[in-house]
Amino acid sequence: MATLTTQPAFNAGDVAWTICPGLGFFYSGLARTKNALSLMYLTVLSVGVVSLQWYLIGYSLTFSDSGSSFVGDFAYVALRGVGLAPHVGAPTIPASVFMIFQMMFACITPALAFGAAAERMSLGPAIIFLFVWSTFVYGLY
């Protein structure tokens, strides 16, 4: 006798809204013309560095189901076990979509600090700041 597998009931509208891109030229639009390119570069750098951190340990530290209320464990290191099953915190979308949605917030949050440091921060310290800040401040709440 064949067994029927039950597919989770995802809401197509929830999934589409969750994966819509939200980051534009906001930061450079608020700065002076001479600082606009630098802020765009630092924002793109933020997306790259924090995405790598989020992939390696960030998502696991922030959203693991089996960790404490303060910090998660390493159950989802390198996104192991994050797939199409619904996430506990968002039952109408896949866990992978939830991860990407939350990752964009993690990428945008440290980029806010670069608005105050326009043309005052060099590349090396910016990369270190992004990785350390997203691990210890954003990842551990």
Q: Which residues contact 106 (CB under 8 A, 6 or more apart)?
A: 50, 54, 58, 62, 134, 138, 139
SS3 68: coil
- The number of C-alpha atoms within 13 Å of 24 and in the hemisphere containing its C-beta is 6
Per DSSP (E only), the strands in 37-109 are 86-87, 90-94
Task: Report the run of H or E that residue 28 belongs to, with start and end.
Answer: helix 26-29
Distance between CA atoms of residues 82 and 63, nearest Å: 11
What mean pLDDT comes out for the span 102-129? 80
Confidence (pLDDT) at 113? 77
Report the percent of the chain where pLDDT is more than 70.
Answer: 78
Q: Which residues contact 41 (CB under 8 A, 6 or more apart)?
A: none
Under the banding of pLDDT at 50, 70 and 90, the label for residue 124 is confident
Confidence (pLDDT) at 53? 93
CA angle 17/20/22 to nearest 5° reads 120
User: How much is the pTM?
Assistant: 0.73
Distance between CA atoms of residues 116 and 111, nearest Å: 10
SS3 74: coil
